Amino acid sequence: MSRLEFQILSDRKDIDPATELILCIIFFPYFYYWEPISKVLALVGNLPRSRREKNAYLQFYLHPQTIISPVSSLTMDTSSQTYTIQTAHTNWIFSGDTGSTLLQSTFGKSVPETCTSAALAVYPVRNLSALLEPSLCIIQPDGTHNLELQLAAVSESGLDDNASSTVFHLADPAYPVDVDLIITAYFAEDVITSRIRVINKGSQEIMLLDRDSAFVRLPYHHDTRLTSFYGCWGKEMTGFHEDRLPRGITKHVNSQISRAAVPDYPGCYLSFGGPAQEDSGDVFAAAVAWTGSWEYSITNTENDEVFFSAGTLPALRKLAPGRRYESPNVVMTWSSQGKGQASRNLHDYGRNYGIYNGKTERPVVLNSWEGLYMDFNEEIVTALIHRAAEAGAEYFVLDDGWFGNGKYARNQDTCGLGDWQVNREKLPHGIEYLCDECENVGLRFGIWVEPEMICPLSELFENHPDYAMQLRFRDRVPMRNQYNLDLTNREVESFVYNTVASLLSAHPRIAYIKWDHNATANVNPGSPANPDDQGALNDRFTEAYYRIISKLRNNFPSVIFQACSSGGMRGDLGTLQFSEEFWGSDETNALDRILIQWGWSHFFPSKAIASHIGRYKEGDFKLRADVAMTARLGIELDPKILSDADFDTLKQGVAEYKKIRPLIHSADLYRGRSPHDSQVTELTFVAKDKSQAVFFGFKRHTDPHTENLLPRGIDASKIYRLTELNPDTAPRIVPGDFSGADLLANGIPVSFPSKQSSVVVRLDAI
């Protein structure tokens, strides 16, 4: 709880108008000269120091019936028992007296709407209409699906100057069950998250079934469109479907236990009033921050109402007396400027809160996988380290194949997972030698692990077959010749933590971990250690994964973590709470990556999406470098296979990227034409103050082509100097000075050669 908010919330009713006027006069100079004065007052104590606190104070004194806590996004109207959760352009209004049902009004753009009687329960526990499913279904000890939630209290706490959590404490008057609905508002980002906590206060076990993290009432429009994202290995996020919302319930589900992003993606966009546009229209976007099975559903009722609910996939799980269940968060945003602004809101949220170390700059990585696979020795790796440095990489990451000995040496993917000892034949001088080699050429060293797995052909399995997941009475089914470890067993959880912690402790120069996960846990969905609570498996597995990785993050704070799961199957906001980035896809072909990264950009800023210049298929090296530049650029090939000319192109691409990296990683992304509709597409990264931008154009067909490509998001009133970056032998644009208005209206003329190609242009305001 912040310094003043409790005081204000409790005192406010007692202030009479005369006192209020006096207070207003006293504080007025302070509000207008708050910056210098606040420095002095900071020494004194409890007075507002930030711009948001100041605004809250102003509103508080100028609008008598409202109560605003100074660092919060919550406004309480005491006369109508209304709670307004607010971000810069969004509000969500709740109302209800203590002891009654809490109601919610429409989530969306900031309008002076009140919570009317038409508003619906904040979190339905019964069927409120013929269609709507309950968000929370609890089976009481007497066997009834019986729950009623009444408002017991409201509390609030500030996370920082910009974000605060409001907790609606709800209680059942008949059964000893409490439910906290925790809504966190990120003011500047226009993002609101929702989650629940269920507390069994009774003396008997209860069962949880449905337990959505969020239930949101959305505006109704007869033409509401749902954009969902779908993918598979090598094609993550390329299925991009926009459908008109039918009457009834539209549900998207992923039943994988240990990964979330494929095939269906745990996030969607909804637009109200026709197809979602990039730059205009009302859009709601949401994603479940959870690395396990999930569902979201949109209900379009018989009464023309639209509701969104989301959370983990329902499964019957036990909740013992005194225990609590904590759901994951659902992250939501609203934009009245189309999909583009909704994505930018999520990017800002990711950089500022949602992604681990979201604000730091990401290094250029050379990963050994597509260059060497498992076929290497010390000499080969050393040579690659040297070539990585020449290419301009900053980190070298040794991928799969460095561990296991004797009959279980990891020379192919059939064995060795679990035996995390360096392979003495391949790497006789161990990891320290490789760290030295990296250090000698100015690189930092990183390494691949897949610590949640066990191969049946491993020493670990010989010694601990019970560590592997297995469903009672069923034979284990391998996937990629491996099983998931039973993370829900505390002993196994410690083993997994210790595997990585010992590696990092023994080799403090390891600066990067690629954490892979190549088999879904639902092929053997059972825990030998906890077989009697099957419905908790999904929760327990993911919670253990989060505990392990967050403990590692705390104990090894300077190591960068990349999340990987057969490519991008862990590209979810749950995993990214603990990882700087994720591997976008095993598909490194530049043309496919245009579509893959387009999909990811709906949820993640470019710095979180690892994109490597690969060795395969279409696209010259300029095109491959340009595509990788729009994300976190890396290299995934052995430069030894390249011609001198291609190696020079690669080096040039890396060098150019480093110059624009700070901008690409922090700027606002404006998407142009979609690769789903057009063979020519555009991306513009614009600095927050619009003083600089970098524009990318991609052409996927092979005809020679001159076309005006449209940058977006720049300032119409500024003059920009255009310079081509990462040029090919022949220039593709004519450099010069142009007004923002002209560029926005007429575009940049680009002459593409007769091959799949790209252009990168820097725009500097002069």
- Which residue ranges make up the site for ligand DGJ (CB under 6 A)? 369, 399-400, 448, 516, 518, 564, 566-567, 583, 586
Looking at beta carbons only, is 211 or 570 nearer to ligand DGJ? 570
Looking at beta carbons only, is 60 or 583 nearer to ligand DGJ? 583
| Peptide bond before residue 246 is cis, with ω within 30 degrees of 0 | no
Q: Which residue has the tokens 């700059």?
A: 361
> For residue 738, which of 675, 676, 680, 695 has the smallest C-alpha distance?
695
How many other C-beta atoms are found inside a 10 Å radius of the C-beta of residue 225?
20
Looking at beta carbons only, is 111 or 232 nearer to ligand DGJ? 232
Looking at beta carbons only, is 567 or 675 nearer to ligand DGJ? 567
Looking at beta carbons only, is 236 or 278 nearer to ligand DGJ? 236
- Closest distance to ligand DGJ from the beta carbon of 373 (Å): 8
3-class SS letters over 48-70 = CCCHHHHHHHHHHHHCCCEEECC
- Closest distance to ligand DGJ from the beta carbon of 146 (Å): 46
Length of the chain: 766
The DSSP secondary-structure symbol of 132 reads P
Looking at beta carbons only, is 58 or 455 nearer to ligand DGJ? 455
Alpha-carbon gap, residue 269 to 283, rounded angstroms = 7
Contact between residue 453 and residue 521 where contact means Cβ atoms under 8 Å apart: no
Secondary structure class of 712 (helix, strand, coil):
coil
Q: Which residue has the tokens 């404490």?
A: 169
Looking at beta carbons only, is 169 or 259 nearer to ligand DGJ? 259
- Closest distance to ligand DGJ from the beta carbon of 337 (Å): 36
Contact between residue 571 and residue 604 where contact means Cβ atoms under 8 Å apart: yes
- Closest distance to ligand DGJ from the beta carbon of 260 (Å): 16
- Closest distance to ligand DGJ from the beta carbon of 583 (Å): 6
- Closest distance to ligand DGJ from the beta carbon of 475 (Å): 25
Looking at beta carbons only, is 400 or 493 nearer to ligand DGJ? 400
Looking at beta carbons only, is 119 or 564 nearer to ligand DGJ? 564
**Alpha-carbon separation of residue 570 from 483, 519, 581, 631 (angstroms):** 17, 12, 10, 17
Burial class, 668, CB count within 10 angstroms (exposed 0-12 / middle 13-18 / buried 19+): buried
- Closest distance to ligand DGJ from the beta carbon of 255 (Å): 21
- Closest distance to ligand DGJ from the beta carbon of 564 (Å): 5
Looking at beta carbons only, is 48 or 634 nearer to ligand DGJ? 634
What does 507-546 look like in DSSP terms, one character per residue? -TTEEEEEE---S-GGGS---SSSTT-GGGHHHHHHHHHH
Alpha-carbon gap, residue 211 to 195, rounded angstroms = 10
Looking at beta carbons only, is 377 or 440 nearer to ligand DGJ? 377
Looking at beta carbons only, is 395 or 583 nearer to ligand DGJ? 583
Closest residue to bound ligand DGJ by CB? 400
Residues 6 or more apart from 581 whose CB is under 8 A from it? 362, 560, 562, 563, 607, 608, 609, 610, 632
- Closest distance to ligand DGJ from the beta carbon of 437 (Å): 21
Contact between residue 258 and residue 246 where contact means Cβ atoms under 8 Å apart: no
- Closest distance to ligand DGJ from the beta carbon of 577 (Å): 21
Q: Which residue has the tokens 């009302």?
A: 282
- Closest distance to ligand DGJ from the beta carbon of 438 (Å): 19
What is the CA 94 to chain-centroid distance, rounded? Answer: 27
H/E stretch holding 431: helix 430-440
Residues 6 or more apart from 336 whose CB is under 8 A from it? 89, 109, 281, 282, 283
Looking at beta carbons only, is 160 or 413 nearer to ligand DGJ? 413
Look up residue 503 and give its amino acid: L
- Closest distance to ligand DGJ from the beta carbon of 566 (Å): 5
Contact between residue 170 and residue 161 where contact means Cβ atoms under 8 Å apart: no
> For residue 377, which of 416, 411, 417 has the smallest C-alpha distance?
411
- Closest distance to ligand DGJ from the beta carbon of 528 (Å): 26
What is the CA 612 to chain-centroid distance, rounded? Answer: 20
What are the E-state strand segments in 159-231? 163-171, 177-186, 191-200, 206-218, 224-230
Looking at beta carbons only, is 234 or 273 nearer to ligand DGJ? 234
- Closest distance to ligand DGJ from the beta carbon of 401 (Å): 8
Contact between residue 366 and residue 640 where contact means Cβ atoms under 8 Å apart: no
